[in-house]
Amino acid sequence: MVEKYLEGYILLLTFPKGIHPDGHKHLTEDEKIAVMPVPAKVFIPVLQHSGKPAEPVVKVGDEVAAGQLIAKAGTSGANVFASCSGKVTAIEDRPCTTGKCAHIVIENDNKNKAITLEKLKSPTPEQIIERVVYSGIVGMGGAGYPSGSKLKQNKKIEVFIINAAECEPYINCDNRLMIEHPGEVLDGAKLLQTAAGAERCVIAIEDNKPKAIASLNEYNAQNNTGVEVAVLKTKYPQGDARRLIFAVTGKKVPQSSRSTDYGVMMNNLHTAYAVYQAVREGMPSYSRVMTVTGGGIKKPSNLLVANGILYQDLIDHCGGLTGDNIAKIISGGPMTGKAVLGTDYAADKTSGCLLLLTNGEANTENPTACINCAKCARVCPVNLMPMYIDLYHRAENLDAAEKYGAASCIECGCCSYVCPAKRPLVASIAHAKNKLKERMKK
Amino acid sequence: MSELILSAAPHIANKNSTRKIMMNVLIALVPSIIAAIYFFGFMVAVNIIICIASCFGFELLYNLVISKEWNKAGVKNSTVWDFSFAVTGIILALNLPAWFNFSNQAMAAGIMPKAIDIIGTIGVCMLGSLVAIVIAKMLFGGIGRNFANPAMLGRVFLFLCFPGAMSAIGADGIGMEATTGATWLVDRSNSGLAGNLLDMFIGNTGSAAVGETCAVAILLGLIYLVVTKTIDIRLPLIIMGSTAVFALLLDGLVNKITGMDLLYNMIAHMLSGGILFAAVFMATDYSTSPNTFIGTAIFGVGIALFTMLIRVFGSYPEGTSFALLFMNVLVPILDKYIVPKPFGQKGQRKQKKVKAAETKAQEAK
């Protein structure tokens, strides 16, 4: 009994500090992943990753099939594929969550033609990496870093960590993937481990997803995959790479160095699923599971969404809005997602969540004066002093802001979350961080 | 669709607010208020009301003078609505004696000496509020930017103006109730009324500041503050713990107290004077306490050290307010030099070591 208690509560892996926001996971926790039908038109952005936008390789009027390469990656970036069969009707600039980029507009012809690549039964590491690079797979947790570039390195990797912490409130896409497709996810993890040449592979899950843990363990018991399942204490920002590495391996990776220097590589769980699809099913990355949730939507659900479907179509599919009190529409989670003005944005590879927050849920308070309570410093997982960085940044004293750690900020938002004065601390620190970067370049 | 809000992440926040924190402190102060009124009479209630009202008035007036908006919007936009003025007002009133004796000094046998005392006490309360709110808080930038605890500065100002009344040396004739008397710190005879430890714990003892006698009420407030996560319990613990240690070292050993008297002396030091009240309600003031744990520890030990130094070697019987004021002024320096290292980053010394090892390895190659 005592041992069980210890195992359950004290011995669980985690990292120091951080916050415990309300999960709100129950909204979509038990909603099965449903396939979102492709509407009449999709708008596929050529910038769905970090790096440079991909170059379109199709012209207006071309007939394309799902899975066909429509934009090729430049020096940095990832390939972009058509998500439905039909005709390219336009290539136009539209707003996307990171600003503005070209979107390839495809008119759906409902013929459901699809191109698949060769299915690999027992691929070599090189074959996997080649397939990952070609398939345009990016980090699907939100950062969008091309996975191929990550795998193409020659450092010795001890542990490959699959990030299934999903620490942000509301989101459930990784959770549902683990519950419904444990085999695929574990196989994808195994493929990533092979590609990176890692000795161990660990899937890290927070303990607020008991069904997912049970599902993976059950599959592991039947087919010995060799992928370990690590259960973590639920805390935000557990999904941050360096926090998760500390929780799983105990290694402290500073913001200035790469995790591969410490023998660790990490990828998101959905990325592992995308790798499985690309290698075993020959399907490039052009769709993903997305959680459409929040108090503002009538029917919160988990959907398999093809790239380029507009948010408005998703909202209509989920029964529309509950009322007039929508305060914020957010692409991504409530802690690090981007607020958007309107529903005219297209879903892409990195958007795991469409969140519609009502006035009651979203923080709509105006900031007041800092009372120096140091609650921000107490929760900062990187040991910064956000109140001083904010203060000195506003006073345009960048040296002092740097001294209190502005350059090490991971922009998790814990400081803003706990601030009783509702100050936009993380925005201020991120601004200071960018200014410091610019100064470094000079 | 209504108007959408476009703002930077995070989009959710916890429900805490400055006003809620102040409300928590106000609730935590309730036991001390009740105890003070019970032991020192109705005048405490009058003082508290006067202090709150004048703190409100002065802060609002300051806001209006600065913003030049002499209308409803100016009142609405002023900083009084976070209710920090009420905390300052109550703590100030609890740090004052129930009465300030003017009738004895001015007109020994004049008409209605009691009325003069009441008017005088009210005037003193208003003066203290003026110093606390305008000079200590608003002139330095309002909430969060004050260099010293406003109530503490108000108290010290009044202490220097009216030393007799404030240190309870001239306690006779001030007009206190049955518990009138000098504190243990003034009259160190453990046989006297003032020296009973149980009386000290309950608060049934004479004192200058009405709020600091009842340890039970203060501890109730402490529990409430800790349970609501308004303050970190470590700071009060550090202050009280180091008070005990310094009572043993400075008072016990220097004055050659032996045996059980040593223990009695230690506990009496912790229970008398303003140290417990200051440790719970004043040292934990957000803006005037350090923002790192190491800084907080130094701050707490410093308060205890200077309090005991003043008590044992100084010319005043009680020194908590001066000790706190001194450490308050040190806080910016503590926060400047004690900065935690970012996660995973090695210290300068360690970095040098690593570099030296690397260059050695290269040379060896």
Taking contacts as CB-CB distances below 8 angstroms, the residues of chain A near B345 are 254-256, 408
Nearest one of A303, A345, A351, A346 to A28, comparing CA atoms: A303
DSSP A267: E
Q: Specify the pLDDT at position B180.
A: 39
**B21-25 LR contacts (CB < 8 Å, sep 24+):** B21/A371, B21/A373, B21/A420, B21/B230, B22/B82, B22/B83, B22/B84, B22/B86, B22/B87, B23/B83, B24/B224, B24/B225, B24/B228, B24/B230, B25/B87, B25/B225, B25/B230, B25/B281
CB contact B144 to A (< 8 Å): yes
Residue A223 to residue B286: CA distance in whole angstroms:
56
**pLDDT of A330 above 50:** yes
Alpha helices in A103-231 (DSSP H): 125-134, 147-151, 173-180, 182-196, 210-222
B114 at interface of A, judged by CB pairs closer than 8 A: no
Q: Is the peptide bond before A334 cis (omega within 30 degrees of 0)?
A: no
* ipTM for the whole complex: 0.85
Q: Which residue of chain B comes nearest to A168, CA vs CA?
A: B10
In chain A, residues 116-175 whose CB comes closer than 8 Å to chain B: 169
B270, B335 contact by CB (below 8 A) = no
Name residue, tokens 């093809």.
A306
Q: Is B351 on the interface with A (CB under 8 A)?
A: no
In the numeric block, which tokens belong to residue A319? 């029964």
Q: In the structure, what pLDDT confidence band is assigned to residue B39 with cuts at 50, 70 and 90? A: confident
> For position B182, what pLDDT does the model report?
52
Facing residues of A102 across strands? A93
Asked if the C-beta of A373 comes within 8 angstroms of chain B's C-beta atoms, the answer is yes
For the stretch B198-239, pLDDT in tens is 777 877 776 668 888 889 999 999 999 999 999 999 999 999
pLDDT recorded at residue B175 = 34
Is the pLDDT assigned to residue B323 strictly greater than 70?
yes
- Mutation choice for B interface testing from A251, A264, A336, A363 by most B CBs within 10 A: A363
Contact at 8 Å (CB) between A273 and A181?
A: yes
Tokens representing A126 are 């090189």
Q: What is the pLDDT of residue B171?
A: 38
For residue range A378-393, list pLDDT tens digits in order. Answer: 999 999 999 999 999 9
Q: How far is CA B258 from CA A221, B254, B265, B311, in A?
A: 70, 11, 10, 19
- The closest of B209, B55, B64, B79 to B135, measured between CA atoms, is B55
Q: Is A419 on the interface with B (CB under 8 A)?
A: yes
A339–B7 C-beta distance less than 8 A? yes
d(CA A242, CA A412): 12
Cα angle value B270/B276/B279 (rounded, 5°)? 125
Distance, in Å, from the CA atom of A226 to the CA atom of A240, rounded to the nearest integer, reads: 24
- Residue with tokens 């309300």, as numbered in its chain: A22
3-class secondary structure, B343: coil
Token pair for A271 = 């990325």
Report how many Cβ contacts below 8 Å link chain A to chain B: 162
Determine, for residues B12 and A335 on separate chains, whether the beta-carbon distance falls below 8 Å: yes
The four Cα atoms B297, B303, B304, B306 give a dihedral, to 10 degrees, of 130
Residues of chain B with Cβ-Cβ distance to A420 below 8 Å are 16-18, 20-21
- CB atoms B4 and A329 under 8 Å: yes
Angle (nearest 5°) at CA B176 between B173 and B180:
85
**Contact residues for B271 (Cβ-Cβ < 8 A; gap 6+):** B197, B200, B201, B215
Q: Select the residue from A20, A312, A371, A436 to test the B interface by mutation, using most B Cβ atoms within 10 A.
A: A371
Higher pLDDT, A259 or B191: A259
Q: Which residues contact A81 (CB under 8 A, 6 or more apart)?
A: A66, A67, A68, A69, A70, A135, A136, A284, A285, A286, A307
With CB atoms and an 8 Å threshold, state whether A419 touches B13.
Answer: yes
Alpha-carbon distances of A339 from A140, A225, A259, A332, A355, rounded to whole Å = 18, 40, 30, 9, 9
Assigned token pair, B145: 């930017």
At B191, the pLDDT band (50, 70, 90 cuts) reads very low
Say yes or no to pLDDT of B176 above 90. Answer: no
Average pLDDT over residues A313-336: 89
Compute the residue count for chain A: 442
Does A169 contact B345 at a Cβ distance shorter than 8 Å? no
Nearest-CB residue to A330 (from B11, B144, B335): B11
Give the residue from B183, B188, B189 showing the smallest Cα distance to B206: B183
**Percentage of residues of chain A with pLDDT beyond 90:** 56
Beta bridge partners of A203: A162, A229
Tokens 């979107």 belong to which residue? A103
Residue B8 in contact with partner chain A when CB distance is under 8 A: yes
Q: What is the pLDDT of residue A433?
A: 92
The chain A residue lying nearest B147, using CA atoms, is A372
Q: Of B2, B3, B11, which to mutate for an interface test with A (greatest number of A Cβ within 10 Å)? A: B11
Cβ <8 Å between B344 and A361: no
Q: Mind listing the pLDDT tens digit for each residue in B70-102?
A: 888 888 888 899 999 999 999 999 988 887 776
CA distances from A427 to A98, A422, B9 (A): 15, 12, 7
pLDDT at B178: 30
Q: Judge whether A327 and A356 are in contact, CB under 8 Å.
A: no
CB contact under 8 A, A361 and B12: yes
Whether pLDDT at B183 is above 70: no
Full strand arrangement of the beta sheet holding A69-72: A55-56, A69-72, A80-81
Nearest to A397 by CA among A438, A442, A436: A436
Q: Among B6, B12, B140, pick the best mutation site for testing chain A contact (most A Cβ within 10 A).
A: B12
Q: Which residue of A has its CA nearest to B346?
A: A254
As a dihedral over the C-alpha atoms of residue A103, residue A108, residue A113, residue A118, rounded to 10 degrees, the angle is 20
Closest Cα in chain B, distance from residue A36 (Å): 24
